[in-house]
Amino acid sequence: MIDIKVLATGSTGNCYRVTDGSTPLLLECGIRYKSIQQALNFKVSEIKGCLVTHEHKDHCAGVTEVMKRGIPVYMSQGTAEAIDTDIYHPRIVRAKEQFTIGTWTILPFDVQHDVSEPMGFLLMNQAGEKLLFATDTYYIKYKFKGLTHLMVECNYSMDILNQNIESGQVHKAMKNRLIRSHFSLENMKEFLHANDLSKLQSVHLLHLSDSNSDEALFKEEVQKITGTIVHVA
Closest by CA to 121, choosing from 139, 85, 97, is: 97
213 pLDDT above the threshold of 80: yes
155 pLDDT above the threshold of 80: yes
Domain that holds residue 142: 3-232
- Where is mean pLDDT largest: 7-11, 130-134, 154-158? 130-134
Number of structural domains, the chain? 1
CB 3 within 8 A of CB 18: yes
At 184-206, the pLDDT tens digits run: 999 999 999 999 999 999 999 99
At 53-110, the pLDDT tens digits run: 999 999 999 999 999 999 999 999 999 999 987 778 899 999 999 999 999 999 999 9
Sequence-ordered list of residues with C-beta below 8 angstroms from that of 146, at least 6 positions apart, any chain: 128, 130, 196, 198, 199
pLDDT the model gives residue 173: 81
Q: Alpha-carbon torsion 173, 160, 29, 27, what sign?
A: negative
**Which residue would you say has higher pLDDT here, 197 or 176?**
197
| Beta carbons within 10 angstroms of residue 223's beta carbon | 13
Cα first-last separation, the chain = 20
Given 3-state DSSP classes, what are the helix, strand and coil percentages for the chain, each rounded to the nearest 5? 30, 25, 45
Task: Work out whether strand 202-206 and strand 73-75 pair parallel, antiparallel, or are unpaired.
Answer: unpaired
Q: What is the CATH number of the domain that holds 201?
A: 3.60.15.10
pLDDT the model gives residue 114: 79
3-state secondary structure of 50: strand
Residues 143, 144, 145, 148, Cα dihedral to 10°? -140
- Where is mean pLDDT largest: 123-132, 159-168, 170-179? 123-132
Residues of the chain above pLDDT 70, percent = 100
155-184 mean pLDDT: 88
Using 50, 70 and 90 to split pLDDT, how confident is the model at 111? very high
Using 50, 70 and 90 to split pLDDT, how confident is the model at 13? very high
Sequence-ordered list of residues with C-beta below 8 angstroms from that of 165, at least 6 positions apart, any chain: 171, 172, 174, 175
CA distance 148 to 127: 11
